Structure 1
């Protein structure tokens, strides 16, 4: 069955977590083999207070960024499927907990992606707020600067990601909340739905009448709230699900009375 001509197409919101990028070689953090479970000390490298107060933590953080597979990763079948759905004419918005930029690399326009936790592809000065490409900072590290300072004011540079102990960008969060309230379908994919406030988007969307679909290997706190739970591998399950939506087999929510 295809979407009837003239029928309103559903607004599809995709809340993506680390599991979407594991097929690209980007490790997750909280899964059974996640980084935080394997090396709890690694969490200090992305904790704001530790980072700002300890030069050794910063030096280790720069080495972690240098060696991170996220900046060398390529989009996988799941990222490509989301971009393909957007090209089909279905209104799509992605709210991602990931910082790897792979949704955009797959061809999804920047304006359709809300990066809740920032981007690992840029650095920001904690003093003056100047931003620059991560590649430039890593080139300085490779040239022998273990803790490169801001070229404008000499302040401490950090990845333009949200570290533990930092607030999310209120503008980005506000847009994500608006998407959750307005969408017809919310697909939570590759996320444990345990990290707030991102996890709250799932019940918020369901409470406003959206169809909630969860695609994740492990159980989440909101499985009982979901209209559909899919446990199959994301690289296979998400493309199949989005093809079904593109074909009109999951339509927009019914308009609420009043």
Structure 2
């Protein structure tokens, strides 16, 4: 109930605040959906321990699940919880929580090195996290090359390779709001936790923040039962960093004032005409036209080569692209709208990503879609 850090301490056990015999993740875990909270004194002691672990870490990462976004109005569809929060009008209208903003602040301070995100909601980026710092391993609403992955689906190759890289590199993993019911991505938590349990040099292990139990609680260096946003408010005080002030509505930054952002046309100096980042030398650059009516082609993912048409932007400035797809083999073509997050354009102009998500369909090239 406390993790290895609680061994030898007289910490009181967490108190049950919601008791249920219903399985939290049917088909993936037999653990019920009962919820627990630490008392205030124990929670304070755990926050001190959490801060010490973060300070000692060289490769601290976060592994987030649905629980981090429930206070933003996105329902945790996979679990049966007691949480009662107003739902966002749509998932796309949801705004980042205090926890999202605090983790972004830790990234800006150089403490957090990588964010592995099970959710699809783009809330870390809305809180200011650059695209280069996140691995949206299970799909993303704002990346047309990375559609949401079904439980039986295949992970995107480059994201899986990145996951394996950070599995080996990390010395401390914070699992927040995730039930960790056996997904492949859980390895970023279990591997470093097993290293710490076997006293491998440099391994600090894993921290879990979740009101519900998980199958990996016994592996944790530190186990916290508490409201997620409350934990991060206390962590800010313990780390002596200013509490971030979440904006009421996401606004893209001053990037739109840059000289290469004109009428939704962008000059990308770091990329060649195939959308590949060129390190050094003169690539000649790549122009990307995302004005209404322009046509683009996906450069990676399960639908690589699929073509679409830009139809406009939503209220937050994210591009809307319409694709004609067959939902099943032999079926008729149907229009599907996907979003391209504004943060992808920021990353492209800065040369932060290896491959652009889309390039324009070249004139004169046959376009059958």
Please state which band the TM-score falls in when normalised by the shorter chain. 0.5 to 0.7
Pairing 1:29–2:88 present: no
Deviates more, 1:11-20 or 1:165-174: 165-174
Correspondence for 1:203? 190
Alpha carbons 1:82, 1:242 under 8 Å: kept:
no
State how 1:41-190 maps to structure 2 within 5 Å: 69-123=90-144, 160-190=147-177
Correspondence for 2:62? 14
Alpha carbons 1:13, 1:92 under 8 Å: kept:
yes
Pairing 1:222–2:184 present: no
| Alpha-carbon distance, 1:161 to partner | 1.3
Aligned length: 177
| Alpha-carbon distance, 1:246 to partner | 7.6
| Alpha-carbon distance, 1:118 to partner | 1.2
Q: CA RMSD in A?
A: 2.7
Closer/same/farther in 2, CA of residues 89 and 201 from structure 1, 3 Å limit: closer
Say which structure, 1 or 2, has more relative contact order (CA 8 Å, 6+ apart).
Answer: 1
Higher normalized helix content (fraction of residues): 1
Closer/same/farther in 2, CA of residues 92 and 239 from structure 1, 3 Å limit: farther
Using the size of structure 1 for normalisation, the TM-score is 0.62
Correspondence for 1:54? none
For structure 1, which runs of at least 5 residues remain unmatched after alignment? Answer: 35-66, 124-130, 132-158, 248-258
CA distance in 2 between partners of 1:207 and 1:166 (Å):
27
Closer/same/farther in 2, CA of residues 210 and 90 from structure 1, 3 Å limit: same
Greater Rg over alpha carbons, structure: 2
Closer/same/farther in 2, CA of residues 122 and 9 from structure 1, 3 Å limit: closer
Closer/same/farther in 2, CA of residues 243 and 225 from structure 1, 3 Å limit: farther
CA distance in 1 between partners of 2:214 and 2:151 (Å):
22
